[in-house]
Amino acid sequence: MKSFPIKILLLLVIGGVMLSACSGGLTANSWPGVTAGKDLVYLSDQGFVFGVKVSDGSMAWRYPADKAAAKPFYAAPALTDSELIVGDYGNTLYALDPATGNQKWTYDKGKSLWVGSPQIVGNVVLAPSADANLYAFDLKGQLLWSFKTQQMIWAQPVSDGTLVYQASMDHKLYALKLSDGSLVWSTELGGSAISNPALDEKGVLYVGTLASEMLAIDGKTGRILWRHTSPGTIWSSPLVVGNTLYYGDFAGKASALSTKDGSPQWTIDLAGPVTASAMFFKDGLIYVMETGDIQALTMDGKKSWSHTINGKLYSTPAVVGDRLVVPVTQGDSLLVALDANGNEVWSFIMPK
């Protein structure tokens, strides 16, 4: 029995070590992001930013090159001819050379994760941070201005060249001047917006929220033009083609609404929940689902081909020429490319 106290002590030590292995704060992990270039697609996933050749899915470059220096990259990068801008979950924003992956500059004064993708408007880099700020930089990484909201920002900003529209998790959509970040208007959405609004040529914004609503908002005044209740929560940006808006929701529905008044055009059942945006591909629509299913639809909602991938599909795919490139979570591959008929052309797996 003399050893009993020692046994208790050992148990406490083992228990303490096991509990502390649960990590000090919140574990940073999420679903990947992909951006289409001309010859390369750029993938943020598994601790790296990859430049992957569209032609055959081979890796052109990886940042950081050293596997031991991996950083938590998940947000889809923003791309111009000379800059690839991407943030990580370690609070640092990077500018890379799109052709080589070489680092150009960094910004490490952000106070939280870079969950949302940046946006490049002319010579201005707009980067939304989970520290509730939208930051604006020049192409050399000099901070121009910042605008603070009330909560995390996960949505990519959109711009018409004069105004910047930023949705925040604080249930609001903000319109700011691109030149100096000053507030023009803000509108209460009634729920958190995970993804960026879509902006049409008439200057109307369309945004989905976790309150299961799709809203249309006048870009000049912030006035809500109409709102439509969805069967499930909306995690992605809507796709606007002509006078119709297309989106999927977490109840597993694909819906089309009229942009004029939000009246439903059609709704169909999909195989699983949707968090990614619908894509326009080969005169039709593509929806990807958490179940690993990819469903092609005609523009009037009829199902055409479908394909199932091993893994979960949370991220919006990229269209590059006649290839649909799909990022995969928890699957055998990181990226899968399909042709116009849904056949797999190549897959990109984690390099050794």
Partner 1 sequence: MWDTIIISPFTNVLLFIYTQVAQNFGIAIILFTCLIRLITHPLMVQQIKGAKAMQDLQKDKRYIEMQKKYKGDKEKFAQEQMKLYQELHISPFASCLPMLIQFPIMIGLYQSVILALASTPIQLLNLTRHVYPSLLKIADVIPLNSHFLWMDLGAPDIINLPFLSFVIPIPILAIVVVITTYLQSKMMTPASSGNPGDQSAMIGNMMNIYMPFFMGYIAYTLASGLALYFVASNLIGIGQYALLGQLNWRNIIPGKKTVQKSKA
Rounded alpha-carbon distances, angstroms, from residue 189 to 40, 174, 176, 236, 299? 37, 10, 17, 15, 28
- Is position 1 an interface residue for partner 1 (rule: CB under 8 A)? yes
Identify which range of 119-127, 139-147, 190-198, 334-342 contacts partner 1 by CB under 8 A. Answer: 190-198
Using a 10 angstrom Cβ sphere, with 0-12 exposed, 13-18 middle and 19 or more buried, the burial of residue 168 is buried
Interacting residue with partner 1 among 60, 210, 296, 318 (CB under 8 A): 210
CB of 25 to partner 1, least distance (A): 4
> Closest Cα partner for 335 from 105, 91, 10, 59?
59
**Site size toward partner 1, by CB under 8 A:** 46
Interacting residue with partner 1 among 166, 196, 230, 233 (CB under 8 A): 233
d(CA 271, CA 206) in angstroms, rounded, equals 25
- Is position 47 an interface residue for partner 1 (rule: CB under 8 A)? no
Helix (H) or strand (E) holding 18: helix 4-20
- Is position 191 an interface residue for partner 1 (rule: CB under 8 A)? yes
Task: Lay out the site mask for partner 1 across 108-147 (x = CB under 8 A, - = otherwise).
Answer: ----xx-x--------------x-----------------
Task: Write out the two tokens for 69.
Answer: 């220096």
- CB-based contact 221:241 (threshold 8 Å): no
Interacting residue with partner 1 among 50, 235, 287, 348 (CB under 8 A): 235
Amino acid in the structure at residue 96: L
Report which DSSP code applies to 329. B
- Is position 212 an interface residue for partner 1 (rule: CB under 8 A)? yes
Report which DSSP code applies to 203. S
- Is position 149 an interface residue for partner 1 (rule: CB under 8 A)? no
d(CA 214, CA 235) in angstroms, rounded, equals 11
Return the exposure string of 240-269: e unless at least 16 CB atoms fall within 10 Å of the residue's CB, then b: beeebbbbbbbbbbbbbbebeebeeeeebe
Q: Which is nearer to partner 1, 22 or 68 (CB)?
A: 22
What part of residues 241-300 is at the interface with partner 1 (CB under 8 A)?
250, 275
Q: Which residues bind partner 1 (CB under 8 A)?
A: 1, 4-5, 8-9, 12-13, 15-16, 19-20, 22-26, 28-31, 74, 89, 112-113, 115, 130, 151-152, 154, 169-171, 190-192, 194, 209-212, 233, 235, 250, 275, 314, 329
